[in-house]
Structure 1
Amino acid sequence: MINTWWATRPKRDIRGLASILSVVSTHAEARKWSYPDKRIELAIESGLEDAGLKRPGKRRDGRGGGARTYRAWLKSLGLIFMDDQDRLWPTLAGDAILQGEPPLPIMSKLVLSTQFPSAFSGSGASAVHPRFRVRPFVFLLQLLADPRLDGYLDETEEIAKIVICYGESNAQSCVDSVVERILAHRASGDDSLPSDYVHMFKSSRMKANSFDAVVANFGDIANTFGNQLSFTQLVTVLRGGRWEIAPGAEQSVQDAIDEYSAKPLLRDHEDEEKYQRRFGLPPGKQKDTRALDPLARSVTGSAIAERQILTAFLTLSTSEIITSITPQVTSAIATSTGLPETVVDRILARKFPAGGIDTFMTEYAVLAFGSRDRATEFEKATESIFRDVFGFKTKHIGQQGIRPDVVISSKSDAYAGIIDAKAYGESYSASHDHRNRMIAYIKNYPSYAIDDNPLAFFAYVVSEFKTTLTGQLQAIQGEAGVAGSAITARDIIRMVERSKSRPYSHSELRELFSSGRGLTFADLDLSP
């Protein structure tokens, strides 16, 4: 039995979740899972590899262990369950994602609803000690909102070493106890931990039993929780492991604490179907009353084709914004699935008439806090937003010498802008080198301009920025004569959401990005 919080992690974040769910559902929905030849598991692994969701290659055991890990992951997230006849079904939340509904609000609700005990953590190899009766993500929000901790938590020193070991309930008394332990650790370091710490919390799943090995394992658990919680846009997890409430999300955090800490924990975790039907509800749904009929839900040839198209579309829409079903989109999906374009077009027009912006923005939320080896993906994603949502003419020119990542130009308002997208998992500050580089970008603008429009502003898109950045932006403006700004990817997502009902004009965007400072939640004019 595991004596700390625990999470399975075939993926540490929620990237590609909709496509993974689609593959698993295609091969397993309404079917009995267990066959001696492991046909379901091996079909899922092949499907994940074919969709580019799992690295291809020789499988370690050839017995479908990877597929079972993904199944456990989807169950822990509230998206699937197994019935008492060993058949797999999507929850209502899983079904909603499979029908193309936006993943972000669905998964945010499920993350906050996650609890110990659960159908995933209540028994077997994943069993977490029954002393934990807590919604862990809400507990983390309670700590971050506690003024005694100065608005931050350290992932390794505090969440890994203390929170996942002692966060037993959402009661204020437990919060107080953990806060005291964290403050003691800030004052005295590891000397504040009990002498039998390793003996108390080491998992039987671990081979090594040294303090360093135990803490490294706990660090992986804490990091997984951080990736999932940051997906909600309520928390910022910066490089170096500092967790903070996301600027502008303070009231949303308090609302989540008030709502979820007051709710009683779900019962019947030992009955997987009953529990998962209650847990796996999307926003707006109170109950799952479906009568699941394997015959009615059997996977016919047309249903398999539809799922293949769904998986290919969801995978494509994580790499580019799809605002409508164009012939180019239809052709790309037909090519990847081998299905006729007429079939692809009919299914996409029915299931995704508004395109796939929400799936793309889900991926963008993850990219913003990604490592620098995903920097080019973040740059291209940012370009796509300015082109396909905000309506600019754009060009991605990063990695081409003294050039910014993206150039944009407004036909309607006759101006241009340059954008540097910084996929750093830390608060951004424009170093002396970066300031000089931006000044060079501005002065060299005529050499890479995409039309005759004059340069109106420069902007940094970052995961987070330091307060010192405003002075640095103004210093660049003083040297190069062009105003600038910085904005978080989180606020770009908020702008995209507003644009669905009330698009920004190019004059509004020019004023916004020429502000000479880091933009805040209040600048975005998100009122209906």
Structure 2
Amino acid sequence: MANILPYWMIPRPKRKLELIPQSLRIFAGVATGTSWDGNTPIKKTFEDALDGANFKRSGDYTERAQGRGGSGGRTHGALLYSLGLWFRHQNDPKTPQEVHLTLAGQALVDQKPAFPILRKQVLAFQFPSAYSVRVNVDRKYRLRPFIALLKLLKREELRGYLTTEEVAACVIGYTTGHSDTQIGKTVDRILKFRADGTSSLPNDFTTALRSPISNKQWDAQALISNGGTLGDIADTFIQWLRYIGYGVAVDGEVFDAGRKTVTALNLSMEQEIDQAIDDWGQKPLQTMYEPENDRFALAESAKAFQRTYGVKVGMKKDQRTIRDIQAWTSSERTLAIVSASLNHLYFTQVVTEITDDVVDAVGNHCGLDLKTVRESLETLISSPTHGISAFLDRYEEMSRSGTDKAIAFEKATAEILEHTFGLGARQLGQTGAVPDVEAWSEDWGIIIDTKAYQAYGLPIDHQRAMHADYVPAYAASLQGRPLKAFAYISNGFAKSFDANLRKTVTRAQSHVADVQGSGISMVPWRQVIMAYEKGELTKENLLQLWTMGREVTPKDVQDLIDA
């Protein structure tokens, strides 16, 4: 048996989950119905496709000259497997294994909204699992790690935050369950670490928790820092927690934490977080049976685990027969490849109809002939509404991506303002002390800052940029129109946002007397976009929302629709 990993483990070819849907679509197009283990050509093909889509860093592939290679494809495949998005099937012990998608994986390939699917998979992630058994994580770990992290963030003794080093030093190598007793012991370890640093750690820390496959000698600080084994694993757990919106990055000064950035609970979702802790904390762990000396029985157990773990939100069991699953055809694999390339286009463009330009763009990206691309697109974009909805799923992913997709978020916002609302719009970000986007109708202008945050609070330097730099620059006019509003578009807002917005508006009005401000998060913003597309809102309704002087709520939007 392989060396036992003495700590929580998680695959990390990418530490953030934003690109999982696209990566899975490429994987499905390459690997579904084929064997995976030991199939180096398939792994190389997947690796090449990821390179072509800019989903992974290209390498020099010197391993390939020696008949090896494909490790990038292997680790990306392991990431998808760890999230319960595919499983291995064998008809009998003598036949090769086949790759097939779970229900959650199939839903992502079919362009269903990714965020609720992946949030459920993250919350349900557990030790032991088919993945953790495969990489041989110590069986003493029996917990849902993300529930453990949320419980820690709820503990008053920890003052509402965790650092990545604390997770690396005190959590991933010691917390074996998510019961209140286990969490209490972990709290004690963290408090000692905050007081005494690495001197609080056990004497055997570096030997007990070093990687069993590495001969490198680490000191404790190096092991838990960025670039160290435990530090990198801890950071990946933190990034996943932030992706699902329950954890947010916060300036360490807010907590006097002695770190530039810490992770805190997203207080705007506290009720939902409490419900998730109750639901997933009390739900029994899924059974991962490990028969001894029977590889086929172990493979069947792993398959059963993956199919159950990978059910869609709200479902308990995958009712499909293997025969139904094996009916996945070559045309459907092609559909997955086109879907991945269409998804790439959605990062910058609203696609509501299948034009020659769209076919060319998708065809150039995926490399398939244009006739095949057009036929696949006719399946994927069944109506303008479906096209907008699929675009907005990608747009929402950008809105929580942090700096990774911030520029794409700006460009996509300008695209929405122009394509959906018929406004003039320009993306300006990255060109100096300017807002991210300016937009205008026949009668008025607005400036917009996009913030790829899960809980944006409008900090003081951002307030100053708006009232001291941006608004004065448009005091005379914006494209010949009077500036009427400035707005912030973000995935979500912190409780401090409205108070900080009021301060900003008051100071901005010393330059433009009647200017107003607002903030709108993804739920009401999607509501606005879809309602406008249906003719239920007008440009003047947009201005009403943007001049509300506070965060816009779904009720505000619905009231305008019903008026």
Contact 1:21 1:74 in 2 (8 A): yes
Farther off after superposition, 315-324 or 81-90:
315-324
1:211 to 200, 220, 240: 220
Would the alpha carbon gap of residues 283 and 389 (structure 1) be closer, same or farther in structure 2, given more than 3 Å must change? farther
What is the CA deviation profile of residues 340-369 of structure 1, one whole-angstrom value per residue up to 9, with x for unaligned ones?
555433322322320164465446445644
Helix, strand or coil for the counterpart of 2:87?
Answer: strand
The within-5 A match list for 1:506-517 is: 506-507=539-540, 509-516=542-549
2:158 to 130, 134, 149: 149
Q: Does the alignment pair 1:230 with 2:242?
A: yes
Q: What is the CA–CA distance in structure 1 between the aligned matches of 2:514 and 2:74, rounded to whole Å?
A: 55
Farther off after superposition, 440-449 or 97-106:
440-449
How many residues end up aligned between the 2 structures? 515
User: What runs of 5+ residues in structure 1 fail to find an aligned partner?
Assistant: none
Contact 1:321 1:384 in 2 (8 A): yes
Q: What is the CA–CA distance in structure 2 between the aligned matches of 1:526 and 1:29, rounded to whole Å?
A: 43
What is the CA deviation profile of residues 448-489 of structure 1, one whole-angstrom value per residue up to 9, with x for unaligned ones?
834x442111134467666673434432333443545464xx
The within-5 A match list for 1:76-225 is: 76-84=82-90, 85-123=96-134, 126-156=135-165, 158-206=166-214, 207-216=216-225, 217-225=229-237
Q: What is the CA–CA distance in structure 1 between the aligned matches of 2:422 and 2:186, rounded to whole Å?
A: 49
Q: Post-superposition shift, 1:258?
A: 0.9
Q: What is the CA–CA distance in structure 2 between the aligned matches of 1:495 and 1:151, rounded to whole Å?
A: 28
Would the alpha carbon gap of residues 139 and 363 (structure 1) be closer, same or farther in structure 2, given more than 3 Å must change? farther
Would the alpha carbon gap of residues 249 and 494 (structure 1) be closer, same or farther in structure 2, given more than 3 Å must change? same
Q: What is the CA–CA distance in structure 1 between the aligned matches of 2:466 and 2:109, rounded to whole Å?
A: 44
Helix, strand or coil for the counterpart of 2:149?
Answer: helix
Would the alpha carbon gap of residues 171 and 436 (structure 1) be closer, same or farther in structure 2, given more than 3 Å must change? closer
Q: Post-superposition shift, 1:389?
A: 5.7
Q: Post-superposition shift, 1:152?
A: 2.0
The within-5 A match list for 1:113-512 is: 113-123=124-134, 126-156=135-165, 158-206=166-214, 207-216=216-225, 217-238=229-250, 240-268=260-288, 270=290, 271-293=301-323, 296-297=326-327, 299-300=329-330, 302-339=331-368, 341-353=370-382, 354-355=386-387, 357-358=389-390, 360-362=392-394, 364-366=396-398, 368-371=400-403, 374-388=405-419, 392-410=423-441, 414-422=443-451, 431=460, 435=464, 438-445=467-474, 449-450=478-479, 452-461=480-489, 469-470=500-501, 471-481=503-513, 483-485=515-517, 487=519, 492-499=521-528, 506-507=539-540, 509-512=542-545
Q: Post-superposition shift, 1:265?
A: 0.4
1:55 to 57, 65, 74: 57
Q: Post-superposition shift, 1:375?
A: 4.0
Contact 1:409 1:453 in 2 (8 A): yes
Q: What is the CA–CA distance in structure 2 between the aligned matches of 1:250 and 1:344, rounded to whole Å?
A: 44
In the superposition, the TM-score normalised over structure 2's length comes to 0.81
Q: Post-superposition shift, 1:142?
A: 1.5
Q: Does the alignment pair 1:8 with 2:8?
A: no
Q: What is the CA–CA distance in structure 1 between the aligned matches of 2:400 and 2:307, rounded to whole Å?
A: 32
Farther off after superposition, 46-55 or 262-271:
46-55
Contact 1:416 1:456 in 2 (8 A): yes
Q: What is the CA–CA distance in structure 2 between the aligned matches of 1:410 and 1:166, rounded to whole Å?
A: 59
1:457 alignment partner AA: A
2:500 alignment partner AA: L
Q: What is the CA–CA distance in structure 1 between the aligned matches of 2:440 and 2:287, rounded to whole Å?
A: 56
Q: Post-superposition shift, 1:264?
A: 0.5
Would the alpha carbon gap of residues 2 and 392 (structure 1) be closer, same or farther in structure 2, given more than 3 Å must change? farther
Q: What is the CA–CA distance in structure 1 between the aligned matches of 2:177 and 2:42, rounded to whole Å?
A: 38
Helix, strand or coil for the counterpart of 1:10?
Answer: coil
User: What runs of 5+ residues in structure 2 fail to find an aligned partner?
Assistant: 91-95, 252-259, 291-300
Q: What is the CA–CA distance in structure 2 between the aligned matches of 1:21 and 1:29, rounded to whole Å?
A: 10
Would the alpha carbon gap of residues 128 and 224 (structure 1) be closer, same or farther in structure 2, given more than 3 Å must change? same
What is the CA deviation profile of residues 285-319 of structure 1, one whole-angstrom value per residue up to 9, with x for unaligned ones?
2211322249953653x445433322211222234
Q: Post-superposition shift, 1:339?
A: 4.5
Farther off after superposition, 192-201 or 280-289:
192-201
Q: Post-superposition shift, 1:284?
A: 2.6
Helix, strand or coil for the counterpart of 2:449?
Answer: strand
Q: What is the CA–CA distance in structure 2 between the aligned matches of 1:177 and 1:521, rounded to whole Å?
A: 41
1:47 alignment partner AA: A
Helix, strand or coil for the counterpart of 2:322?
Answer: coil
Would the alpha carbon gap of residues 436 and 245 (structure 1) be closer, same or farther in structure 2, given more than 3 Å must change? closer
Q: Post-superposition shift, 1:221?
A: 1.4
1:64 counterpart residue number: 70
Contact 2:426 2:439 in 1 (8 A): yes
Helix, strand or coil for the counterpart of 1:52?
Answer: coil
Contact 2:18 2:401 in 1 (8 A): no
1:272 alignment partner AA: A
Would the alpha carbon gap of residues 343 and 203 (structure 1) be closer, same or farther in structure 2, given more than 3 Å must change? closer
User: Taking every aligned residue pair, what percent have the same amino acid on both sides?
Assistant: 29
1:243 alignment partner AA: T
Contact 1:323 1:388 in 2 (8 A): no
